[in-house]
Structure 1
Amino acid sequence: MQEVFAVGLFVVVLAFIAFELAHRTVLALFGAAVLVAVGVVSQEEAATEFIDWNTIGLLAGMMVIVAILERTGVFEYLAIKSAQWGGAKPGRILILLALVTAFLSAFLDNVTTVILMVPVTFLIADALDTSPMPFLLTQVMASNIGGAATLIGDPPNILIGSAAGLTFADFVVNLTPIVLISLPVVLGILYLMFRKDLRGSDNAEEVIANMDAAGSIRDGVLLRRSLIILGLVILAFFLHGALHLEAATIALFGGAALMLYSGVNVEEILRDVEWPTLLFFVGLFILVGGLEVTGFVGSIAEALTGVGAGTSATTAVVVILGSGLASGIVDNIPFTATMIPVIQDLAEAEGLSEAEVRPLWWSLALGADFGGNLTLIGASANVVVAGMSERAGQKISFVKFMLYGIPVTLASLALATVYVVLRYF
């Protein structure tokens, strides 16, 4: 009975979000509160087991750093330079920004990257006198593709790497090739879908050429201090294993250190943090926790691997496609966390060696990462971009995101499936 209730409530909340009948943060928190109130999830379970505080802390810390960076004028500088490099051609700039986003996502993590890139995107769209929507959607989808390339690029990879003992180099060797194959295809699809919207004003080239990039830097001292802290944070992300620190600890430490070092008004900075986005994640994690505790997500995960039991190639294909679809619906972080013990149990039951089970780990990573492009709640980066965009007066609807996400996800998952089968079987 509880399983039916949890699933029904999740579907209702998802439908209300999809049709924008109320704000997604309110809906997620209300749904989470209902689950706790009726006893499906206890308050202690919600706070200690289901909410991924590492994700929340990572987002909060990086939002603080970005809020301070915004005050330096560095985003205006990057916007002007990017537009000038792109020759004020919207289509060319769209591809350029997407490539930069994908590259940075592999090394910063995709959530941090989109937090840094969204302000730049709005400034460029304003200078071009065109809609920012094609740029925002292309960048967030590129971030989910690019983030698949490394251990730290996407939260599901961090979970998989930790559980399976996979190194940074393992991810680069095994997943970077398919990322390099998929990215041009995805960008080509999005360019074709957006080509009619990529129209700048007649005088955009002249306006952008006359812009003074260097003059946009408002506070050189603050910029220098911010870049020092940001550089140390990025370095710590690379060394997080040796430091024995979670990403959230590093980001929050960096945010707090920068507020102290820069001497900014703390209350003003904290007002710029995307609290609705953070609270949406809190509610979403609890809602998915309700699906987990009632056994629904576990049943889906077991069904995915059970279909191809005994045939490794078939199992890998089912894991890629099934994880891609499921991750787009319930968020790729909690789904990945649920799938990890299932794959471990499968490997033990069938007596698979560490080398034999690795293709299943790569299948799970690719399915979860690429599947995150399916819906607005499929990946953390999607939700962050939606929150920042809405704050800037450009709302990204659930349905609109999915219209572009479906072809991108299907194409990338198809390529990933072929890649895994040809390379490992």
Structure 2
Amino acid sequence: MSAVAAIVIFAVAFFFIATEKIHRVAVVLTAAGLMALLRLVPGNDVFFSEHAGIDWNVIFLLLGMMIIVGIVKRTGLFEFLAIWAAKKSGGRPYRLMVMLMFITAVASPFLDNVTTIMLVAPVTLLVCDKLGVSAVPYLIAEALASNIGGAATLIGDPPNIIIASRAGLTFNDFLVHMAPVVTVAFIVFVVMCRWLFRRSFEYHPERVAEVLALDEREAITDVRLLARCLAVLGLVIAAFSLHTVVHLEPAIVALLGAGAMVLVTRSTPEQFLPEVEWSTLVFFMGLFIMVGGLVETGVVGAVGHWAVGAVGDDYFAAASSLLFGSAVLGAFLDNIPYVATTAPIVEDIVAESGNPAAMQPLWWAFALGADFGGNGTAVAASANVVVLGVAARAGHPIGFWQFTRYGIVTTVVTTVVAWAYVWLRYFA
């Protein structure tokens, strides 16, 4: 009965999130409260469980980066970059989109997709404002690109860290096995964007002429403040990139960076706290508890065991099942708790085979499905939720289905590309 109750609560909540009849924060808080009230998620697990409660690593990573971005914004750096990007693209919408997606996809594997979005989104909003075009398609494209690009490395997407820990995989393992297919998938996605967003591209010659006449250097309002911010931001980015060396969680790096940024710039709480998107943080907390209810009641585990057990000893079928199953489930559940729950199942299958090395393709299929499935809906990955929060705060709200209709197509195409890659590389 507890599993049925968890499924009903999750399904009803997802319906209201998708239809946007009630604000999404109110929906997840109500659903999370019901999960806790009915003890579908034990009280202690809500706050302390790594797999079934609130993922504080994500919450504090976001909090730290929001503070950092809020302080950097005061220097005029984002406006500088916006004018520069507009000039380099000549104001041409598709060229501008490809430029912003490329920056996002290249940065995501070495930072993480949430951090990259936090840094690129403010630039996108400013450049689109100066060119007189809607920022929505560009923000959606960047979120999708970040989820694709982040799959390339161990630190680029949170699920990869969980998989690497369970499977004993290294940073170089991810580069060798994931980077090739991610590169192909991103190229395919860039071509797709020309068709996906064709009705959204706008070009206003008079606005472009105005922007081209601007001097981006004049956008910098405080050179000394900028120098201090860039020094701290550089250290934060270096710490993110050296995750496997320094062994600091991204959340700790972000919080240390935020603290250092506040100190060196002598910012006051009145200056940086209003920049924190509290509604986005609360939404994440509720969403983690909702998914935790499905984890605690065994729903996610049962689906995973059934899917993999149904294919028996056919390892290509098992890899295909993991790939497509993870893409589908990852599109409706946040992919972090999903991967945390399913990884032990994959580990058992690999161990029981008696030949872990030969079964390694199952891990890559699992990772690709979970990472690419993160594009499936507006709430499937952290980067998607962050983009929705940033857009709403800037006065450019993105609806659930407005994002999801692009995300579903992207997930289907990139998952098929990944499936072909797994077959050609490991089984053909």
Report the Cα distance in structure 1 between the residues aligned to 2:243 and 2:144, rounded to whole angstroms. 26
Pick the aligned partner of 1:255 from 258, 261, 285.
258
Report the Cα distance in structure 1 between the residues aligned to 2:97 and 2:237, rounded to whole angstroms. 26
Pick the aligned partner of 1:175 from 151, 175, 178.
178
2:155–2:243: 8 Å Cα contact kept in structure 1?
no
Pick the aligned partner of 1:221 from 218, 224, 232.
224
- 2:109 aligned counterpart, secondary structure: helix
| Post-superposition CA distance 1:332-355 (Å, at most 9, x none) | 1111111110011111222232x2
1:90–1:128: 8 Å Cα contact kept in structure 2?
no
- Answering whether residue 398 of structure 2 is matched by residue 405 of structure 1, we say no
- Answering whether residue 33 of structure 2 is matched by residue 33 of structure 1, we say yes
Instruction: For residue 37 of structure 1, report the CA deviation from its aligned partner.
Output: 1.3
**Structure-2 residue corresponding to 1:294:** 297
| Post-superposition CA distance 1:301-324 (Å, at most 9, x none) | 112211223111111111111100
The count of aligned residue pairs is 424
More displaced 10-residue stretch of structure 1: 55-64 or 409-418 = 55-64
Report the Cα distance in structure 1 between the residues aligned to 2:312 and 2:194, rounded to whole angstroms. 39
- 2:197 aligned counterpart, secondary structure: helix
- Answering whether residue 127 of structure 2 is matched by residue 124 of structure 1, we say yes
**Structure-2 residue corresponding to 1:197:** 200
Report the TM-score when normalising by structure 2. 0.97
| Post-superposition CA distance 1:120-160 (Å, at most 9, x none) | 11111111111111101111100100001111111111111
Give, as a single letter, the amino acid of the residue that structure 1 aligns with 2:30: F
**Structure-1 residue corresponding to 2:89:** 86
- Answering whether residue 327 of structure 2 is matched by residue 332 of structure 1, we say no
Aligned 1:252-401 pairs, distance under 5 A: 252-353=255-356, 355-401=357-403
Report the Cα distance in structure 2 between the residues aligned to 1:138 and 1:194, rounded to whole angstroms. 9
- Answering whether residue 22 of structure 2 is matched by residue 22 of structure 1, we say yes
1:190–1:404: 8 Å Cα contact kept in structure 2?
no
**Structure-1 residue corresponding to 2:426:** 424
More displaced 10-residue stretch of structure 1: 99-108 or 229-238 = 229-238
More displaced 10-residue stretch of structure 1: 324-333 or 230-239 = 230-239
Report the Cα distance in structure 1 between the residues aligned to 2:353 and 2:359, rounded to whole angstroms. 10
Which structure 1 residue ranges, 5 or more long, are not aligned?
Answer: none
Give, as a single letter, the amino acid of the residue that structure 2 aligns with 1:228: A
2:181–2:421: 8 Å Cα contact kept in structure 1?
yes
1:138–1:187: 8 Å Cα contact kept in structure 2?
no
Which structure 2 residue ranges, 5 or more long, are not aligned?
Answer: none
Report the Cα distance in structure 2 between the residues aligned to 1:241 and 1:409, rounded to whole angstroms. 29
More displaced 10-residue stretch of structure 1: 188-197 or 246-255 = 188-197
- 1:130 aligned counterpart, secondary structure: coil
Report the Cα distance in structure 2 between the residues aligned to 1:414 and 1:131, rounded to whole angstroms. 31
Report the TM-score when normalising by structure 1. 0.98
The list of structure 1 runs, each at least 4 consecutive aligned residues, that deviate by more than 2 angstroms after superposition, is 238-244
Output the aligned Cα RMSD: 1.1
Instruction: For residue 414 of structure 1, report the CA deviation from its aligned partner.
Output: 0.1
| Post-superposition CA distance 1:374-413 (Å, at most 9, x none) | 1001100000000010111111111111111111111000
**Structure-2 residue corresponding to 1:64:** 67
Pick the aligned partner of 2:143 from 136, 140, 163.
140
Instruction: For residue 84 of structure 1, report the CA deviation from its aligned partner.
Output: 0.4
1:91–1:198: 8 Å Cα contact kept in structure 2?
yes
Report the Cα distance in structure 2 between the residues aligned to 1:360 and 1:215, rounded to whole angstroms. 53
